[in-house]
Structure 1
Amino acid sequence: MKTDPSQRAQTMETRAADTGTKFDWTDVGRSLDDYGNAVLPGMLTPKQCETLAVLYDRDDLYRSRVVMARHGFGRGEYKYFAYPLPPLLDELRHALYPLLAAIANRWNALMRVDVQYPDELEAFLDRCHRAGQTRPTPLILQYGPGDYNCLHQDLYGTHVFPLQVAILLSEPGRDFEGGEFVMTESAAHGQRAEVVALRQGDAVVFTVNQRPVPGLRGGTRKVAMRHGVSAVRSGRRHTVGLIFHDAQ
């Protein structure tokens, strides 16, 4: 059954208001500045997580399936959703984008990158689509024992939004063991790795490619970020990823 457009708009407005007030976005921005990531605890309820996780077996919802080992990405698999996205993910994508666009624009100004992101997701997606980037990028990942995700960056075309959101759908210690979200930072002075602890329903906002940091002698320099998932020791782990640019 199709959702009435006015009802969908009202739902999205409520979601946007909830997202804007549930978290301290000044703290989110500060954590992203300092570490390249920020945790949004309890973004989804356990029921919402379970509802999304069971969608993994619904092949009609996806445009493609990727077995990581075939491409050297690690082990495990993921599926890219087709349009239209599941309503909850569509609402979250629209609600989070304007909050993150403000941070992305501030970062680009600091890094002297001549790109500014529009206030609303639809305008940014229109920019992607006019450049031939028309394939949706939100995805769901499934890991079993021994599966892992190599460190990587999700760069799909000319227009790349510099922040991404992953939401853990499974409960560590109950549904799976291991499988920690990992980030690395590479710069001329060395490297840094960080394990980001998440519980079921927690989201992590993280840097897709580069972020600005204070220079050693003043000014601003760029550091490169990558993300991945350590090996799952037992059980099954599901995650959804919200990527804001579409792919070619």
Structure 2
Amino acid sequence: MDTIAKGRQSHSLELEFGAGATPKPDSKGSAAQADGSLAQRVGAIDWFDVEQGLNAYGSAMLHNLLSAGECDALTALYRRESLFRSRVVMARHGFGRGEYKYFAYPLPPLIAELRSTLYPCLAPVANRWNEVMDIGVRYPATHAEFIERCHAAGQTRPTPLMLQYAIDDYNCLHQDLYGEHVFPLQVAILLSEPGADFTGGEFVMTEQRPRMQSRTEVVPLGKGDAVVFAVHHRPVQGTRGPYRVNLRHGVSRLRSGQRHTLGVIFHDAT
């Protein structure tokens, strides 16, 4: 959130909308350990499986996307004020409790690589979703091309961020929109170890369905795990055809310790 923004071939949605599909909420095809280069790890992910989870639940896990060492190195960046463009204390804005900081350009290399490496795997999903939802926007093949689009529209402020929570901190349900150009999927990576560094603090999502009660999803992340999730809405097959459901995400109250998360948002902010 920003104070300016209150705001394999036939993967497709046939996996959910066709008969006999059994989508899973996480990606068991992800690398068992966070070894090799980031590009190798991303290449080892079963993106077919990831798309099934996204189609069925609006989220999917990427297990061990980052190593423990990478998580610790990223967490250490939080103290380096020169890397960030702004700091938000959530209680001041009614966003919850805790704080987060937006990175400035140039982004730290690993964060820039996460953006450029994950985006091409997600853009085909985003395009299929928009087609099903009858949204005219299509996303280019590379992140650099998409960022050019954002910047041409005046969205020039980087949105990757790091969040820090202490005891009793939480993040209210929200959406990270930031401007006219919104990439419909984003990634959050847990940098701390549940049960060792903190307790509580679960990543949660809610889905508002028309004329139905909201559905809640809790994603059981471990250190170095990532969750890919819908920023705003996703398509669902109804009896009269596909329709959109609205999603929000947040973090439940921390019971003990301290928790850090990296948020990888692919569009920039106005």
Aligned match of 1:116 in 138, 155, 164? 138
- What do the CA deviations read for 1:88-134 (whole angstroms, capped 9, x no partner)? 11111100001100100000000000000000001100000000000
Q: Does 1:195 align with 2:218?
A: yes
Aligned pairs, how many? Answer: 233
Q: Does 1:136 align with 2:152?
A: no
Aligned residue in 2 for 1:6: none
CA apart distance, 1:17: 4.3
Between Structure 1 and Structure 2, which shows a larger proportion of helix residues?
1
- Pick 1 or 2: higher relative contact order, CA cutoff 8 A, min separation 6: 1
Aligned residue in 1 for 2:168: 146
| Partner SS, residue 117 of structure 1 | coil
Let me know the Cα RMSD of the aligned residues. 0.8
**Amino acid corresponding to residue 183 of structure 1 in structure 2:** M
Alignment TM-score, normalising by the size of structure 1? 0.93
Aligned residue in 2 for 1:243: 265
Distance across 1 between alignment mates of 2:137 and 2:117: 21
**Amino acid corresponding to residue 220 of structure 2 in structure 1:** A
Unaligned runs of 5+ in 2: 1-36
Distance across 1 between alignment mates of 2:236 and 2:126: 14
Distance across 2 between alignment mates of 1:90 and 1:69: 29
CA apart distance, 1:233: 0.6
Aligned residue in 2 for 1:209: 232
**Amino acid corresponding to residue 66 of structure 1 in structure 2:** V
Assess if the C-alpha contact under 8 Å between 2:41 and 2:65 holds in 1: no
Alignment TM-score, normalising by the size of structure 2? 0.85
Aligned residue in 2 for 1:101: 123
CA apart distance, 1:16: 3.2
Aligned residue in 1 for 2:200: 178
Q: Percent identity?
A: 64
Aligned residue in 1 for 2:79: 57
Distance across 2 between alignment mates of 1:94 and 1:82: 16
Q: Does 1:37 align with 2:64?
A: no
Q: Does 1:168 align with 2:193?
A: no
